[in-house]
Amino acid sequence: MNLGTFLDGAVQKFGRQPYIQFYDETITYEEFGKRVNILANAMRRVGFRKGDFIHVLVQNSPNTLIAYFAIQKIGAVAGPINGWWKAQEVKYLLNDSRGRGLIIEDQYVPILKEIRTSCPDLELVIEVGESPSPEHISFSALMAEGDTRPVKNEGSPEEVACIVYTSGTTGNSKGVLLSHKNVLTDVEAVVKALRLEKQQTVLVFLPLFHVNAMLTSIFSMAMGYRMVLRKTFSASEFWQVVDQYKVNFWSAVPAVYQILLSDPGRQKYDLRSLRFGVCGAAPLSPETFNKFQETFNIPIVEGYGLTEATGVNAINPRDGVRKVGSVGLPLPGQVIKLLDEAGREVPRNQPGEICIGGDVVMKGYFNRPQETAEVIVDGLLHTGDVAVMDDDGYIFIVDRIKEMIIRGGENIYPKEIDNLLATHPKIQEAAAVGVPDKTMGEEVKVFVIASDKSLTEEEVIDYCKKNLASFKVPKYVEIVEEDFPRNPLGKVLKKDLKKWGLTPRPKKTGADEVTVADIFGTMESRVNPEAVKGVTANLAYVITGSGGGNWTVSVKDGAVKVLEGIHDPNVTATASAEDWIGLILGKLDGMTALSSGRLKVEGDLNLLGRSNKFFKKYTPPAAIGEEREREELIRLDKVLSIPQRFATGPVMGKFLNGLKEKKILANKCSTCGRLQVPPREICAECRVRVTQWVEVGPEGAVATPDVTYYASPDPLTGETRETPYVACHFLLDGCKGHETFWHELNPSDIDRAKRGARVRPVWNEKRVGAVTDIKYFEIIE
């Protein structure tokens, strides 16, 4: 069976029963099957073929599912696109998958317009909407063709059914290839695990571009359920929808439960139809878990899964023991092992990496054999999640090996934010981490080291808003003065950064706040001898509020003592600590304070007035620090440029001149026969002059690759080349052993840089007789 024949079976079995309830529109299984056939026939007619990658960027609607299934029917590969992605992210996806087709809803067309010219592999675009652009194929026109002849997918279940991109990051995002068998195996396991009964109504509001909602729509089809489909989650309509359609269950992410709990609107509605709610994508807090069950008297069934393993891999039993904080038991038919670093299974209650085996493990990442080989080892998918399994086999997630942030169920790779912010002209470096959040599970906080002191938090946020999907925009920004915690190699230690959390870093200078105690404590050292000459009086101060206290300034014939407490005052001044500091720093005017009653005076007001001159100006500790900082120190940064000449000599000259003609010349020792490339005057082994020349290559193979992760800036231009890049010893054809040639490899071949990979040189158009006439070598497909 494949997903095409699976649909045929459901249509036959459930015929006139409703499948989709989309607002006022009801679509039966029969009608759904018919529409899928129409679209499949039409798509074939416009030129789509088996195996094509066809992306779908359509918000939740019956058309989204019709598109998915029509693609399955013609044996093509469905590639859902995250509707929150911005143009650059969509461009990356389209160029990574090199998909031929795109079914797009009109609301997303502006995104496409922005990137259309830079997506050369995209051939056919079908637009869903009322008035599609003339350069696109109209979805409704295709549906109007009305060719309902059944389309049968004869393909094997092992074929790829969909390509789902893991997250919206350029560089990190990978296309997960799932086969028909993957999907159908997982669907069967979910049905078994949840012990689903017949005749249910399921509510789907999570986006259909995620595997979670996709699977829900498919297992609903397996069971003949009615699926109430909504465009998006909306708290305001939620309970009314549950009541109106007598919803039995749904699948949600923790944030949804959090929002529903805080919404009092439910009381108007009849919610007796509810059986349970599924929760996945991120850990649910025990607090929410318990409160929700108490309030609604229905269980939350928490599960766990990842796209690479088709979406659902563990779940709590619906009516058996559900353990708070656990993601439950492995799904029937799936293998979950917790392995230590050496790949050995850990004992119960010991942490280990979750590794998943069985028919749900993806076919691999598209076009990324190395990354695939890294995560699928001996048939087990290494998830990067660390968990413990208790004595009953329940799985508790402990930590993530990877530093991914999960915000309200959406995966965010902090590296993407870091890389983006590093391109901001005022930012030297940024590091994003997840910080705990009650509603979203995690929120993004980014620590920033500014290269320009005028940088503001708003600028950081704005820059992110402009360039990232909104769910990835950091909620918290902190511009720090100190360096990030780093390992000896300079890599930022995100774990330690995470510990910094939401508490702002202590400031280096000006950190000492002005305190009332400091004002009185420094008074004796600030006495102005001239002004207190001949004065004898006690001035009392009652400072209220936090940081306040009572002080008496006792002046005896010019000698000043500051005492704690009130001692025989001639005048008593009363003010709050805040106002008192304001008065001392000159931020609050004395007369204003008096007339407004913020400063109260009993006794000799005149004495208090004169006392201003008794003391020199108070300098807050912070200001002293600033003073020091303002001292200018001369530092000269210079780059001397010294002319130099390199004379090639006849041997190197001949080699370099050869490059102009796309020839790679080696010289050959007549004694030992060894080749040298680039050539040298003398054989390094035999110490004899080398006179024979041979042409080698230009193709060859990688002998030793070397990846460079750090490049220092060119002192003359200040430019730093992009890292990582790869240099290799190449063994050119005609050479053997150590007769290798050192050059660069095409940076985009970095993942395939392996010993033995075949390469050819990429020559510059303009060649000047330099080794850089070869731009780099590239790997031959």
By the criterion CB under 8 A, which residues form the site for other proteins? 631-651, 653-654, 656-657, 665, 667-668, 691-696, 714-716, 733-734, 769-770
CA pair distance 506, 442, nearest whole angstrom: 24
CA pair distance 269, 263, nearest whole angstrom: 13
- Provide, rounded to whole angstroms, the least separation between the CB of residue 772 and other proteins: 11
- Provide, rounded to whole angstroms, the least separation between the CB of residue 632 and other proteins: 6
φ/ψ of residue 44, rounded to 5: -65, -40
Q: CA torsion 214→216→221→222, rounded to 10°?
A: 110
Whichever of 268 and 628 has its CB closer to other proteins, that residue is: 628
- Provide, rounded to whole angstroms, the least separation between the CB of residue 655 and other proteins: 9
- Provide, rounded to whole angstroms, the least separation between the CB of residue 708 and other proteins: 20
Distances (CA, A) of 283 to 194, 243, 351, 658, 719: 19, 28, 17, 63, 44
- Provide, rounded to whole angstroms, the least separation between the CB of residue 762 and other proteins: 17
Q: Which residues pair with 145 in a beta bridge?
A: none
In angstroms, what is the C-alpha Rg of the chain? 36
- Provide, rounded to whole angstroms, the least separation between the CB of residue 675 and other proteins: 10
Whichever of 554 and 667 has its CB closer to other proteins, that residue is: 667
Whichever of 319 and 695 has its CB closer to other proteins, that residue is: 695
Dihedral sign from CA coordinates of 458, 461, 465, 467:
positive
φ/ψ of residue 193, rounded to 5: -65, -40
- Provide, rounded to whole angstroms, the least separation between the CB of residue 701 and other proteins: 16
Strands 441-450 and 476-480: parallel
Whichever of 379 and 649 has its CB closer to other proteins, that residue is: 649
Which of 738, 743, 735, 657 shows the shortest CA–CA distance to 697?
735
DSSP character at residue 740: -
Strands 101-105 and 53-57: parallel
Whichever of 243 and 699 has its CB closer to other proteins, that residue is: 699
* 3 state DSSP class of 189: helix
Whichever of 14 and 655 has its CB closer to other proteins, that residue is: 655
Whichever of 591 and 634 has its CB closer to other proteins, that residue is: 634
- Provide, rounded to whole angstroms, the least separation between the CB of residue 721 and other proteins: 15
Which of 199, 225, 245, 222 shows the shortest CA–CA distance to 19?
225
Whichever of 119 and 666 has its CB closer to other proteins, that residue is: 666
- Provide, rounded to whole angstroms, the least separation between the CB of residue 657 and other proteins: 6
- Provide, rounded to whole angstroms, the least separation between the CB of residue 665 and other proteins: 7
> In sequence order, what DSSP letters do the residues of 470-492 get, joined into one string?
GGGS-SEEEEESSPPPB-TTS-B
Which of 258, 69, 240, 251 shows the shortest CA–CA distance to 161?
69
Which of 40, 33, 105 shows the shortest CA–CA distance to 71?
40
Whichever of 591 and 642 has its CB closer to other proteins, that residue is: 642
Dihedral sign from CA coordinates of 43, 46, 48, 53:
negative
The DSSP element (H or E) to which 10 belongs, if any, is: helix 3-14
Whichever of 489 and 642 has its CB closer to other proteins, that residue is: 642
The DSSP element (H or E) to which 625 belongs, if any, is: helix 621-630
Angle between helices 3-14 and 62-73 (to 10 degrees): 120
- Provide, rounded to whole angstroms, the least separation between the CB of residue 711 and other proteins: 15
Whichever of 488 and 650 has its CB closer to other proteins, that residue is: 650
Whichever of 281 and 696 has its CB closer to other proteins, that residue is: 696
- Provide, rounded to whole angstroms, the least separation between the CB of residue 686 and other proteins: 17
Angle between helices 180-193 and 3-14 (to 10 degrees): 50
> In sequence order, what DSSP letters do the residues of 500-539 get, joined into one string?
HTTSPPPPSSS-SPP-HHHHHHTTGGGB-HHHHTT-EEEE
Q: Which residues pair with 26 in a beta bridge?
A: 21
